[in-house]
Amino acid sequence: MRLDAKNISFRYGNGSFILKDVNLFIDKGERVGLVGPSGYGKSTLAKILSGYLKPTKGEVLIDGKPLPAKGYCPVQLVYQHPEKALNPRWKLRDSLYEGLEPDVELLDSMGIEREWLDRWPNELSGGEMQRFCVARVLGEKTKFLIADEMSTMLDVITQAQIWNYVLQTVEKRGMGLLVVTHNHALADRICTRIIDLTGLNKI
């Protein structure tokens, strides 16, 4: 399986273009780092790759076909801020089961306590909330995971723990991983290939 971004250009509304003619791919089983300075459009590209934003020009393809317009998206995104990914008015159970079949074995292996599911998002610590957010996008149908500054807000020990969970799952399932970060050292440590958005963007 291959995730392909072809000639992606993007601007918010009528603003100036942030991304111009960006091409990249991720193969199944690859761990690719996407690095670039802050404010350069990494998160925008991450949202385009996972179907949350429609590119102004260009397309995102999985094995040559467009991302599904509805139903479960095989490309899933983890954000920097887990509290923004969760609806504060929903119990965690409702967020978890939203549109996907959770992998019970995975929840157990990630230490997601059953009792958490009856809580509101603000009743977890930052690290627990991010672990929950990661678990909820690792449904069995997820083929590519886009981790956008996933661990930036966490202390080092919690960061290491989350990366362990993610890398184990990615490896076990043969998924593709895109690590979006301004932290080159992190990308070097985790990834099999690094791409620099400043070199891809023809802005």
How crowded is residue 145: how many other Cβ atoms within 10 Å of its Cβ?
25
Which one of Mg ion, ligand ADP, none interacts with residue 122, CB within 5 to 8 A by kind? none
Q: What tokens does 91 get? A: 């119990």
Which position has the token pair 């998206």?
Answer: 73
Angle, CA 172 vertex, CA 72 and CA 50 arms, to 5°: 30
**CB-wise, 43 or 169, nearer to Mg ion?**
43
**CB-wise, 42 or 136, nearer to Mg ion?**
42
SS3 state at 182: coil
| Closest distance of CB 178 from ligand ADP, Å | 13
Do strands 19-27 and 193-196 pair parallel, antiparallel, or not at all (unpaired)? unpaired
Residues contacting ligand ADP: total by CB under 6 A: 10
Mask of contacts with ligand ADP, 12-51, x by CB under 6 A? Answer: x-----x-----------------x-xxxxxxx-------
Which one of Mg ion, ligand ADP, none interacts with residue 18, CB within 5 to 8 A by kind? ligand ADP
| Closest distance of CB 83 from Mg ion, Å | 16
**CB-wise, 116 or 181, nearer to Mg ion?**
181
The contacts of residue 176 (CB under 8 Å, 6+ apart) are: 1, 3, 26, 27, 28, 29, 30, 31, 32, 143, 144, 145, 170
Q: How far apart are CA 35 and CA 42, in angstroms?
A: 8
Contact residue for Mg ion among 18, 35, 43, 60 (CB under 5 A): 43
Which one of ligand ADP, Mg ion, none interacts with residue 38, CB within 5 to 8 A by kind? ligand ADP
Q: Does 97 bind ligand ADP (CB under 6 A)?
A: no
Going by C-alpha positions, the residue among 169, 163, 161 that lies closest to residue 183 is 163
Give contact residues for ligand ADP (rule: CB under 6 A). 12, 18, 36, 38-44
Give contact residues for Mg ion (rule: CB under 5 A). 42-43
